[in-house]
Structure 1
């Protein structure tokens, strides 16, 4: 069995691998530990024995508990995976949505020291007051109330000490485990664990840099500066760095506290509508949206004013992507399988149009199963997840951005239905999708597209003579290379390779038998029962080789 000892030999990595192996064994994933070589690595470390524990919980529940025990980086990975309904079962995805990103706070004194180190000044020169008792604590950071020297109430978000060291260690180990999973775990290659970990690493590193989050907040503030429905906390750039983010303190009621909202006189139906419209305006109008609008990041201020918190995770959509997403929504509303299929093909970059009719037929069945009901009964998040699973059957993979957006829409749909049981997300998405389609056909948009196409054509014409000259030069020198991509020959090549190996094996076997026979006739001592011992050995080895060859042939015939 492959061992991880050859991957990382440092003590730090060794301790972490042993932690992971111990947690897997504890929650009944010894089979996975063995497959990845972790159990053998544990034995090599000569540590205390770790045994599996019997538990009545389901395998999915135990997997969630294992991620929580492994720490913040693995919890974040689980939360990202919870949106990938295309590769995970519905039950596992729902279980991963329960992952809690809450950990014990670190010392307020340590938080103050981090702030002082970041800005090179004592805390009293930075803030008139700084509350060392945190308001909340999560895996990456915790927040503290403070008052600026100018008297403004603010919140100071402080990154956990050494979190980047732990994060980089865990990300490196995740990359190793992903490569091992693709190699040794049956069916894992289809899930593309290496690509998932690579994308997760990129997102996680961005979330750990608070300067990026400050930029997101300022961009949102600019986009919605004239919109009275939404307020974005002000960022204090002079008190913000990679590890510290200072923003305006926002007082409000969490959207999940319905009794308090009713007592304040808030219109819950209006709040549901407003929240959905704000998210769709971010998606379709600006192509820049809050990717984690769960109830904890959703404050309601007097006058039904919405305030989003935590801008670490955002999504960015190109104009083309938004247009195809609009076509997808309009296809759902009009129950048009051709429109949905065409939008999916363009979103995924799918080019195998020989199977387009088959995909369209399955999409038509999908529409019949999900869309011929009241719009109020349609769950957009569930529907998009089911669509992604259907597409996987045809080998169509939508980009990762699609699943980030699906997660955001599923979350805002759940918030809307919590506020208003009759909430209909499709109803609120339809006007934005239609407006985007109309803008695409406007004179201004068509003129812009024509202008861009003209520039592209002009560039092509300008480069054409040089490219043609280079091709002719290569032809004259005989340096033109033709690359042939053979497809569908894998089985034939594998069979040919297998036959070649067996033929070579048989030739060696025949030579061994002939050589052994010659040795027997030669009577070269030492002898046993008047037969040379070398001849005996040759015949025994030949018999074993012949048996192995026969067994290999019989087994391949049954596979």
Structure 2
């Protein structure tokens, strides 16, 4: 039902475009959390996603909350791995069937190693963002509405066969008209066109995800581990940026400006006259894929050199420009051979697809600075404080065991430089990870979106460089950047110490007057204390007591009913049925209301 409904929604929107409507090709406002609007296909899609989530929540509720209350926690523990794997496989199948944003959700989940168990992330790693191409007639209709002219006038030639197709849009090769070519200096281009109706599908999917997140936030087992609504909003923000081709065009221009003086790097030019929020026209820069080692060698290019330059360029984005391509997979990076007789480099890296970019804001820079200083000083408490400043650890985190783990880590590896760490027996790292894996996994860790994308970029870079050069080690290019960061930030320590000293002097100066005010208030009988937190704790204890009584009453009714089954079956079933009331109170009576 889901795929047919989704296809029906796409066709309805495409029909609206072909009819000549100038409105956006989807009924609901983009990203509105309103499931009651849109086509019947959108509402059916919404119910499909929410229904899937409801079934999975019931499974979690039964195994993680109900069974442990009846002494069956060991059964829940034994079956947890298999259950998580089955959930991941079912979601994988749902994402492939529905397409649209659900594939992006699966990819997003596969990268959330901080909040999801490996049984889920490993299953979803292979979820590919490739779907069958939309019929060219629908693509033509949408592009002509967006550009305001027939496709034959907008381009001198337009390839009807898609160059690439994904869940949100697809790309076609084209050639600019003579007039546009003269104005822009470009001829061959690649045109990205959104899938018709994708706005409505994205709005529906996000509305469903927001409802699921609200459910999750009411489950203490989940809320103590992750802020589900915030996680959905992070994902929604990424979707807003990726579905807006004008945002991608701006990212391409900013990236090109960052590397304007660097002959190692290039990016496609944007043809603004032929670009809108749903259509993006870029210069055609396709060349040798960065992971095509055979083609690189045939062109006289050493893959090892490519790996080293690529790593340097990615680290430049992180440490120098603070604007990072967060999706550097092989399909988004080309190696372009150049004319060696011109006196410049023999080749350069050309990046494409700037829909997923991340910035390194000042707050993150400050947190990373604190992190580096803590690592340099082997300060486990300072490292935990840095993690909290960056936003990695939620406020509910109990950090005592983490501090102990970091102290052990510093004691063993803290005096080593990058080169020495590279030579450590990997089994030592494995042993440390095994010893403290439960400590780390139980922490309420949640990576901010920009930091997550940054880690994704570094991870993809390391993997791609290792594929190009099996002897590649990420420590080699990182070491000089880390040393430079310490050198640059070292001068700021004096300023920090002086500011802290000034703050301490101010506190000491105001302290006598504040003590005098407190003593005066006590003498006048106006000194008061806030006991609201104590009262809340007492209320909690009273609630727990009531739930214990309900649990005992439930067991008494069930046991009494079981004993009465033979002599008085009607009364027995009445007792068993009534036992549901104290059971519900025991399970949910203490839940905080929001």
**TM-score (norm. length: structure 1):** 0.70
Which residue, out of 319, 326, 331, partners 1:284? 319
User: Relative to structure 1, is the Cα distance of residues 99 and 499 closer, same or farther in structure 2, using a 3 angstrom cutoff?
Assistant: closer
- SS of structure 2 residue aligned to 1:301: strand
8 Å CA contact 1:36–1:177 kept in 2: the answer is no
Which residue, out of 155, 167, 178, partners 2:213? 178
Partner of 2:459: 410
Residue deviations 1:456-509, cap 9 Å, x none? x9xxxxxxxxxxxxxxxxxxxxxxx9977627954x4233246579999xxxxx
8 Å CA contact 2:35–2:204 kept in 1: the answer is no
Residue deviations 1:138-196, cap 9 Å, x none? 01111111111216110000011110011101111111122223336954662332221
Tell me, in whole angstroms, the C-alpha distance in 2 between the residues paired with 1:346 and 1:367.
20
Residue deviations 1:51-101, cap 9 Å, x none? xxxx99952334323322232211101111222111112232232221110
8 Å CA contact 1:283–1:322 kept in 2: the answer is no
Partner of 1:122: 150
Tell me, in whole angstroms, the C-alpha distance in 2 between the residues paired with 1:351 and 1:550.
36
8 Å CA contact 2:391–2:447 kept in 1: the answer is yes
> Once the 2 structures are TM-superposed, how far is the Cα of residue 223 of structure 1 from its aligned partner?
0.7
Instruction: Give the alignment's Cα RMSD to 1 decimal.
Output: 4.8
- Decide which moves more: 119-128 or 97-106: 119-128
User: Relative to structure 1, is the Cα distance of residues 8 and 427 closer, same or farther in structure 2, using a 3 angstrom cutoff?
Assistant: same
Which residue, out of 252, 259, 265, partners 2:300? 265
8 Å CA contact 1:224–1:230 kept in 2: the answer is yes
Partner of 1:202: 237
- SS of structure 1 residue aligned to 2:116: coil
Tell me, in whole angstroms, the C-alpha distance in 2 between the residues paired with 1:488 and 1:413.
53
Which residue, out of 457, 463, 468, partners 1:419? 468
Could you say which structure has the larger radius of gyration? 1
> What does 1:93-492 correspond to in 2, within 5 Å?
93-149=121-177, 150=181, 152-183=187-218, 187=222, 190-302=225-337, 303-325=346-368, 328=371, 337=380, 340-348=383-391, 358-366=401-409, 374-375=421-422, 393-395=442-444, 397-441=446-490, 486=533, 489-490=536-537, 492=538
- SS of structure 1 residue aligned to 2:320: helix
Tell me, in whole angstroms, the C-alpha distance in 1 between the residues paired with 2:287 and 2:265.
13
Tell me, in whole angstroms, the C-alpha distance in 2 between the residues paired with 1:152 and 1:274.
29
Gaps of at least 5 residues in structure 1 are: 1-6, 38-54, 458-480, 505-539
User: Relative to structure 1, is the Cα distance of residues 35 and 375 closer, same or farther in structure 2, using a 3 angstrom cutoff?
Assistant: closer
Tell me, in whole angstroms, the C-alpha distance in 2 between the residues paired with 1:326 and 1:319.
10
**Greater RCO structure (CA 8 Å; 6+ sep):** 2
Gaps of at least 5 residues in structure 2 are: 1-33, 63-81, 338-345, 504-527, 551-570
- SS of structure 1 residue aligned to 2:269: coil
- SS of structure 2 residue aligned to 1:361: helix
8 Å CA contact 2:242–2:248 kept in 1: the answer is yes
- SS of structure 2 residue aligned to 1:271: helix
8 Å CA contact 2:224–2:444 kept in 1: the answer is no
Residue deviations 1:381-414, cap 9 Å, x none? x99x999985564545443322221111111110
- Decide which moves more: 125-134 or 342-351: 342-351
User: Relative to structure 1, is the Cα distance of residues 252 and 438 closer, same or farther in structure 2, using a 3 angstrom cutoff?
Assistant: same
Residue deviations 1:112-152, cap 9 Å, x none? 22222112122233211111211111011111111112161
> Once the 2 structures are TM-superposed, how far is the Cα of residue 103 of structure 1 from its aligned partner?
0.7
Q: Aligned pair count?
A: 467
The answer as to 2:99 corresponding to 1:71 is yes
8 Å CA contact 1:209–1:242 kept in 2: the answer is yes
Tell me, in whole angstroms, the C-alpha distance in 2 between the residues paired with 1:212 and 1:293.
18
> Once the 2 structures are TM-superposed, how far is the Cα of residue 202 of structure 1 from its aligned partner?
1.5
8 Å CA contact 2:394–2:444 kept in 1: the answer is no
User: Relative to structure 1, is the Cα distance of residues 264 and 367 closer, same or farther in structure 2, using a 3 angstrom cutoff?
Assistant: farther
8 Å CA contact 1:271–1:419 kept in 2: the answer is yes
